[in-house]
Amino acid sequence: MALTTSPPADLAPAREAATDAAGLGRVRASAFVVPALVLIAIFLVYPALWTLYLGLTNYRLTGIAAARPQFVGLDNYVRALRDPEFLNSLWLTLLYVIGSAVIGQSILGFVLAATLRTVPRVVRGVVEAFVMLAWILPSSVVAFLWIALLDRDSGTVNALLGTPGMAWLLEYPMLSIIVFNTWRGTAFSMLLFSAALNAVPPSQLETARMVGASGWQQLRDVVFPHIRGHVLTNLLLISLWTFNDFAPYLITAGGPDNRSEILPVFVYESAIFDGQLGFGTAISLLMLLINLVLAVVYLRLLRERRS
Amino acid sequence: MADIELRRLVKEYPGGVRAVDGLDLTIADGEFFALLGPSGCGKTTLLRSIAGLETVTGGHILIGGRDVTGLAPGARDIAMVFQDYALFPHMTVRDNIAYPLRIRKMGRPERHAKAEETAEGLSLGGLLDRRPGQLSGGQQQRAALARAVACHPKVFLFDEPLSNLDARLRLEARTFLKRLQRDLGVTTVFVTHDQAEALAMSDRMAVMDAGRIRQIGTPTEVFQRPASTFVASFIGSTPMNLLDAVADRDTLRVAGTTLPLPAAAGPHVRDGEKLVFAARPEYMTLHREAEPTGIEGVVAIVENMGVGSLVSLEVPGGADGARIVQVTVPEGQEPEIGSRGWAVAAPERVLLYRHDDGELVGSERAGAGEPVLAGAGD
Ligand SMILES: Nc1ncnc2c1ncn2[C@@H]1O[C@H](COP(=O)(O)OP(=O)(O)OP(=O)(O)O)[C@@H](O)[C@H]1O
Ligand SMILES: [Mg+2]
């Protein structure tokens, strides 16, 4: 065994080229990698750089600025940060992320995961199947379902709640899209938390029970410290997904009166409807920055726990 | 302090497994009680039922005269030490030990002082600021003990607390645990499947099989007079010799030899009744010359046991082929393999069991004397 493995590199290599494990040599090895690099350059690096550039111009979808965009420096960014519509949209996005991801999906997902451990297998299977179904259905289908559910005249929700004529999407647009996204995305948190809860040693929970710890105390002192990493990972993923989620557009289209215009919708409206590609691109970059900050904060928290 | 009384306790798991099957047991105040039995006999289930971690399906549990059958685990005033110690990995040893006190709303300085005092008593003094992951197995075990001790329970329950320790540490922990229990005087139930542990530590012990108790007694009683062939084959570091025998007037025919029938057994056996002759290897001696009361055989195996050796004699048998009789011999007297030997049992140590139900000759027959308990089970 030890005899057939290749000798360490510092023990006088037989051929000069054979410093790599496969023995291809630098030139041939590069030939294998180049196609992938080209594809990455075309489809990832170029658009990214292009976006960076567009954000600094007054590029428009139509008109003179479409043919001959002018370099405007940081104007787009300054404008965005002074634009009450942008700030409103940022605020709505925050509400959307906190409401549907942090509170809705993860808390509901945890409660479901914890409760389903104690119910009979059949019940658990059925509930899990429904939650998963909501997750795997395409957004467009789910959006259509919710429009039908919340319909003013013949909607199921109005029939169930006994509130005929209630226009949910007009009266409570933010609440509607928050509930919609919670409903659609809870499965992920539920699955992640069920796996996490399986990793909590039963004897530790039982020790807590033996000394008389209440359900809440068991959660705080035993369960939560064990699943803290899972909670953070889950929060990171679902807040990023929710932050960039465009599906609410399919339900409220940002309206009425921009009252549910979260950032992805705002970008779409500015760039495509108003044709201000440069401005829209600048906002996309701002979103990217916010995503990065979110990710860094969560990763910091995760690392803190490990050390 | 409190005694424990179990009345016709039944625990049937969903699916019909009766892990505890109509069990009656009283454990005295301050007693160190060991539960011993083969794997799957229901020891853990019984312990968890006393703790309240399993809901029993029948019977009653009384602790200090109080019926706790329906109470939550936290309301029973019991501390339990698990096989994996169940220390909270994210808390320091100090916080682990103080945790029960924290749940009881004792103030931080007070409970930390208490934890330190307890830890000192269990020689954990310098380790209070470490996390369980930074302790050795033996230290973890003592930290778990300290947590149990710190809340001054009425009853300790231990589920194989020593089985994760290596052999040497286990001996140390055994002595340690025994002394701790004696000092505190807390009623203790100790589950183990290591019979040496049960014999060494307990004031009284119970041997369980299939959810029932087969024998209760002091370690000496159980070791010297196992109540049935099941207990006899289970107890002892070397298994007891169990040989088929037949009563023949006032003699006993066993493995080609005729021995006098023990006087005490006389009135209880019928002529020609099939019996089981039982003698521990430690209570037998090996002779090189023919002995009238010796069982003759050929030395097949000699196992070194440190102080002495365990010799296995192959005894040419009747219908069921050859049988093995084991005898311990003192150091320096090991026989040659293949040589002839006669195993003689000390007459006062010989036990006789009935062949049909495996109980001790002269004991009550189940179903004859007292009614069989929880007969509903079968
Ligand atoms: N949760 C459960 N559901 C169903 N049956 C169970 C459950 N737990 C244990 N049993 C069964 O109950 C019986 C007793 O199990 P228990 O764990 O009490 O045995 P034990 O004496 O502690 O064994 P060991 O020495 O291996 O720990 C076994 O037959 C086991 O299969
Ligand atoms: Mg067990």
ipTM for this model: 0.79
The Cα–Cα gap between A189 and A242 comes to 13
CB B144, CB B161: distance < 8 Å: yes
Q: Which domains are assigned to chain B?
A: 4-224 (3.40.50.300), 229-361 (2.40.50.140)
Q: Is A163 on the interface with B (CB under 8 A)?
A: no
Considering only CB atoms, which chain A residues are within 8 Å of B86?
201, 203-204, 206-207
Q: Is the pLDDT of residue B370 over 50?
A: no
Residue A182 resides in a domain: yes
Q: What is the DSSP letter of A100?
A: I
In A219-282, at which residue ranges do the beta strands (DSSP E only) sit?
none
Residue A71 resides in a domain: yes
Q: Is A305 on the interface with B (CB under 8 A)?
A: no
Sign of CA pseudo-dihedral A123, A127, A132, A137: positive
Residue A8 resides in a domain: no
pLDDT tens, chain A, 307 aa long: 444 444 444 544 444 555 677 777 888 888 889 999 999 999 988 988 888 888 888 787 777 777 777 777 778 888 888 888 888 898 999 999 999 998 999 999 999 999 998 888 899 899 889 888 888 888 888 888 888 888 877 778 877 887 777 777 777 888 888 998 998 888 899 999 999 999 899 999 999 999 988 889 999 999 999 998 899 989 999 999 998 888 888 888 877 877 888 888 888 888 888 878 888 888 888 888 888 998 898 888 888 766 5
Residue A22 resides in a domain: no
The owner of tokens 């997902």 is A109
Considering only CB atoms, which chain B residues are within 8 Å of A210?
51-53, 73-74, 78-80
Q: Do B72 and A209 touch (CB under 8 A)?
A: yes
**What distance in Å separates residue B56's CA from the closest CA in chain A?**
16
Can you give the pLDDT at residue B324?
86
- Closest Cβ opposite residue A211 in set B74, B87, B90: B74
Residue A56 resides in a domain: yes
The owner of tokens 């046991």 is B305
CB A251, CB A177: distance < 8 Å: yes
Q: Is the pLDDT of residue B333 over 90?
A: no
Can you give the pLDDT at residue B97?
92
Q: Is A156 on the interface with B (CB under 8 A)?
A: no
Cis peptide, bond prior to residue A256, ω within 30 of zero: yes
Which among B166, B282, B199, B211 has a CA at the least distance from the CA of B38?
B211
A137-146, B17-26, B89-98, B256-265: range with lowest mean pLDDT:
B256-265
Report the separation in Å between the CA atom of A118 and the middle of ligand 1, taken as the mean of its atom positions.
20
CA-B15 nearest atom, ligand 1: 4
**What distance in Å separates residue B14's CA from the closest CA in chain A?**
12
Identify the domain containing residue A242 by its residue range. 35-302
Sign of CA pseudo-dihedral A143, A149, A150, A151: positive
Closest residue by Cα to atom 17, ligand 1, is: B44
Residue A14 resides in a domain: no
Complete DSSP assignment for A14-78: SSSSTTSTT---HHHHHHHHHHHHHHHIIIIIHHHHHHHHHTTB---SSSHHHHS--B-TTHHHH
Q: Is A231 on the interface with B (CB under 8 A)?
A: no
Q: Across all residues in chain B, what is the average pLDDT?
A: 86
CB A162, CB A84: distance < 8 Å: no
Residue A10 or B332, more confident:
B332
Can you give the pLDDT at residue B320?
59
The tokens describing A158, both together, are 């109005």
Residue A62 resides in a domain: yes
Which among B358, B329, B359, B330 has a CA at the least distance from the CA of B341?
B329
Considering only CB atoms, which chain A residues are within 8 Å of B84?
201, 203
The Cα–Cα gap between A138 and A136 comes to 6
Residue A25 resides in a domain: no
CB A278, CB A60: distance < 8 Å: yes
Ion ligand 2 residue ranges (Cβ < 5 Å): B 44
Instruction: Provide the 3-class DSSP secondary structure of residue B326.
Output: strand
The Cα–Cα gap between A23 and A19 comes to 7
State how far the alpha carbon of B80 is from the alpha carbons of A235, B158, B159, B161, B253, in Å: 36, 6, 8, 10, 50
Q: Give residues (CB < 6 A) around ligand 1.
A: B 13, 15, 17, 19, 37, 39-45, 193
- The rounded percent of chain B whose pLDDT value lies above 70 is 94
Considering only CB atoms, which chain B residues are within 8 Å of A201?
84, 86
CB pairs under 8 A between A and B: 57
**What distance in Å separates residue B214's CA from the closest CA in chain A?**
29
Q: Is the pLDDT of residue B238 over 90?
A: no
The Cα–Cα gap between B79 and A252 comes to 58
Q: What is the DSSP letter of A220?
A: I
Chain B: residue whose CA lies nearest to A202: B86
Q: Is B143 on the interface with A (CB under 8 A)?
A: no
CA-B20 nearest atom, ligand 1: 14
State how far the alpha carbon of A220 is from the alpha carbons of A228, B84, B309, in Å: 11, 21, 57
CB B261, CB B269: distance < 8 Å: yes
**What distance in Å separates residue A33's CA from the closest CA in chain B?**
45
Element (H, E) at B62: strand B58-63
Q: Is the pLDDT of residue B369 over 50?
A: no
Can you give the pLDDT at residue A106?
92
CB A25, CB A252: distance < 8 Å: no
The Cα–Cα gap between A147 and A150 comes to 5
Residue A83 burial by Cβ neighbours in a 10 Å radius (0-12, 13-18, 19+) = middle
Distance from CA of residue A290 to its chain's centroid? 12
Which among A85, A50, A43 has a CA at the least distance from the CA of A69?
A50
Can you give the pLDDT at residue A305?
64
CB A245, CB A177: distance < 8 Å: no
Chain A: residue whose CA lies nearest to B153: A211
**CA triplet B145, B147, B150: central angle to 5 degrees?**
105
Q: Is A200 on the interface with B (CB under 8 A)?
A: no
State how far the alpha carbon of B344 is from the alpha carbons of A79, A220, B312, B332, B352, in Å: 107, 66, 13, 19, 16
Residue A99's domain is classified under what CATH number?
A: 1.10.3720.10
Chain B: residue whose CA lies nearest to A203: B86
Residue B239 or B373, more confident:
B239
For the entire predicted model, the pTM comes to 0.78
Q: Which of B49, B53, B97 to mutate to test the interface with A (most CBs of A within 10 A)?
A: B53
Which distant-in-sequence residues (6+ apart) come within 8 Å of B328 by Cβ? B238, B281, B282, B284, B305, B308, B309, B310, B311
* A13-30 core/surface letters (b: 16 or more CB in 10 A; e: else): eeeeeeeeeeeeeeeeee
Can you give the pLDDT at residue B88?
93
The Cα–Cα gap between B124 and B118 comes to 9
Distance from CA of residue A261 to its chain's centroid? 17
Residues 77-136 of B with CB under 8 A from A: 78-80, 82-84, 86-90, 99-100, 103-104
Computed over its alpha carbons, how large is the radius of gyration of chain B? Answer: 25
Which distant-in-sequence residues (6+ apart) come within 8 Å of B188 by Cβ? B31, B32, B33, B155, B156, B157, B158, B181
Report the separation in Å between the CA atom of B24 and the middle of ligand 1, taken as the mean of its atom positions.
19
The Cα–Cα gap between A252 and A172 comes to 10
Q: Which ligand sits closest to the CA of B20?
A: 1
Q: Do B103 and A212 touch (CB under 8 A)?
A: yes
Structure confidence at residue B373 as a pLDDT band (50, 70, 90): very low
Counting ligand 1 atoms within 8 A of each CB, the residue from B21, B36, B43, B82 with the most, and so the one to mutate, is: B43
Residue B297 burial by Cβ neighbours in a 10 Å radius (0-12, 13-18, 19+) = buried
- Closest Cβ opposite residue A210 in set B78, B83, B87: B78
How many structural domains comprise chain A? 1
pLDDT in tens, B277-325: 889 998 899 998 888 888 888 898 999 888 889 999 888 765 555 688 8
The tokens describing B313, both together, are 């004699």
